[in-house]
């Protein structure tokens, strides 16, 4: 009986030590640079894409495919797990000068005399989920979510000019890589594809769809 009583404290201590070891192992931070935390940054890039205007009921069309530059800000939060998987969420907004112009065309493909159509994306934005795998200070990642833009269409029909701006909503996917130059300073290069669907313009007389590609670089401060 005495031996059992003496052994009980040792068993309790051993069980407690095992639980503490398990807890330490579970909570142990990843080795090397840790990506967990919030961040804010600035970005710039170049975009190009396809915009198709269709005159409903006639088959006449125009293709004012846009391209141009953009610049803005982004902010987000990452969490790095013990297996080096990094999950996060990010939002961004950018002022844009992404525009294009095209002559009008008959449904047959012949040029419509005196008709010029232009399109201009004034700003873009997105809210995206991100998933990556940390290799110390490198973080390759995939991202996808909801995208927005403000798009202005202008039609010059032999001197009669009409224009309208609409907010377009769609989806975006992309991939990129980030590198932590220091514990706070993180750079990135990224590609995105965005499909903003189609929307009626000019009281439903015309339908416009917009799809874009863009390359962006950014620099962020991690908290």
pLDDT at residue 5 in the model: 37
pLDDT at residue 30 in the model: 55
Series of mean pLDDT values for 10-residue runs along the chain (223 residues): 40 43 47 93 98 94 97 98 98 97 96 96 97 98 98 96 96 98 98 96 94 98 97
Query: Which of 95, 121, 89 lies closest to 212 in space, CA to CA?
Result: 121
Distance between CA atoms of residues 18 and 3, nearest Å: 23
Cα–Cα distances in angstroms (integers) from residue 52 to residues 3, 100, 185, in the given order: 88, 11, 41
Distance between CA atoms of residues 52 and 186, nearest Å: 38
Distance between CA atoms of residues 203 and 115, nearest Å: 19
pLDDT at residue 8 in the model: 38
pLDDT at residue 3 in the model: 43
Q: Which CATH number, 2.40.160.20, 3.30.70.360, 3.30.450.40, 1.50.10.10, labels domain 35-222?
A: 2.40.160.20
């Amino acid at each position: 009986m005495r031996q059992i009583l003496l052994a009980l404290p040792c068993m309790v201590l051993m069980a407690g030590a095992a639980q503490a070891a398990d807890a330490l192992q579970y909570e142990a931070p990843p080795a090397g640079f840790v990506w967990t935390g919030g961040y804010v940054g600035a970005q710039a890039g170049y975009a190009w894409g396809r915009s198709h205007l269709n005159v409903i009921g006639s088959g006449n069309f125009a293709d004012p495919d846009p391209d141009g530059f953009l610049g803005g800000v982004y902010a987000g939060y990452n969490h790095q797990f013990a297996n080096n998987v990094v999950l996060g969420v990010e939002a961004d907004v950018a002022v844009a000068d992404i525009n294009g112009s095209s002559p009008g065309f008959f449904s047959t493909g012949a040029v419509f005399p005196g008709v010029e159509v232009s399109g201009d994306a004034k700003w873009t934005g997105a809210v995206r989920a991100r998933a990556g795998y940390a290799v110390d200070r490198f973080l390759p990642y995939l991202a996808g979510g909801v995208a927005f833009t403000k798009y202005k269409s202008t039609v010059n029909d032999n001197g009669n000019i009409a224009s309208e701006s609409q907010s377009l909503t769609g989806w975006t996917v992309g991939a990129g890589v980030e590198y932590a130059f220091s514990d706070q300073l993180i750079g990135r290069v990224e590609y995105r594809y965005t499909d903003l669907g189609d929307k009626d313009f000019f009281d439903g007389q015309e339908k416009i769809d917009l799809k874009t590609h863009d390359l962006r670089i950014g620099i962020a401060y991690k908290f």
